[in-house]
Amino acid sequence: MGPSLLFCPADRPDRFEKAAARADAVILDLEDAVAPEHKGAARDALTGSSLDPVRTIVRLNAFDSGFFADDLVALAHTPYRTVMVAKSESAEQLSGLDRFSVIALCETATGVLAAPSIAALPQVVALMWGAEDLVASLGGTSSRFADGTYRDIARHARSSVLLAAGASGKAAIDAVHVDIADLEGLDAEARDAAASGFAASAVIHPSQVETVRAAFRPTDAELDAARRIVEAAASNGGVFRLDGRMVDGPVVRHAERVLARVRPTMD
């Protein structure tokens, strides 16, 4: 699965095929994108859809939302087995989802603090974080400064979720960039996500897809430098010098990750 994951409201089946065609994976959203009075229609649309299960993720409502149980009933009538659980806050909440591949969305203060134990569950394949719900859970009013950069609390949560995922060998997904027109800001965030170790970024509009793909795709110069490091490492044990730069194990692993990003995966 590639680096660009596109949210699509589950009550808009007319958009399902288009979203799936545009992005590396589509997230059919039963939660925030769907008003309470439309939840039933969204579940009906979900069960009537026929997207590629390998590239389809279903975002379920939060465990304590009152909608979670009905979401699971609907999901049982579909071929989709990768789920994203909104506002995941404990390993106990997710323990019954062992039939699914779970992406835990840690987007509250409780969820971020519980990220290490959540990531340790065998059914959890990835963690994602969310800025807006996080700040709301703290009683705040904005996750970003006026210039568009994240406040420290959001940056801390982002790093915490990435570290928790990495410590358990799971993938991490970066949060959405809500300013759809700000492709420059999205590009900067996605490039930082790729360099920091995130496997993917979620997006909310098709116009954001290619920006994320390009950000995660190494440049020709980066690929050439990475290949030279890996090739030199094969014939030089331990620490060595290349183009005036010290190269050791971590630098080689960085280069290997750059090469791996040619075909990004969440596996």
Which of 226 and 156 is assigned the larger pLDDT?
A: 156
Q: What is the pLDDT of residue 267?
A: 42
- Whether 17 maps to a domain, the answer reads yes
State how far Cα 207 lies from the chain centre: 18
**Which residues are part of a known binding site?**
59, 107, 133
Query: The domain that contains 99 carries what CATH number?
Result: 3.20.20.60
- Are 78 and 97 contained in the same domain? yes
- For residue 233, being part of any structural domain is answered with yes
pLDDT at 226: 79
- Give yes or no: residues 34 and 144 share one domain: yes
Last residue of a domain, one of 216, 237, 252: 216
Which residue ranges make up the annotated binding site for Mg(2+)?
Answer: 107, 133
Alpha helices by DSSP H, listed for 77-182, are 91-94, 109-113, 115-119, 131-137, 152-167
Positions at the binding site for substrate: 59, 107
Report d(CA 16, CA 21) in Å as an integer: 9
Residue 266 lies in a domain: no
Q: Using a cut of 0.85, tell me whether the model's pTM lies above it.
A: yes
Whether residue 226 sits in one domain with residue 203: no
Q: What is the DSSP string of 159-223?
A: HHHHHHHHHTT-EEEEPP---TT-HHHHHHHHHHHHHHT-SEEEESSGGGHHHHHHHHSPPHHHH
* Residue span of the structural domain in which 197 resides: 4-216
Domain count, the chain: 2
Tens digit of each residue's pLDDT (9 = 90 or more) over 80-92: 999 999 999 999 9
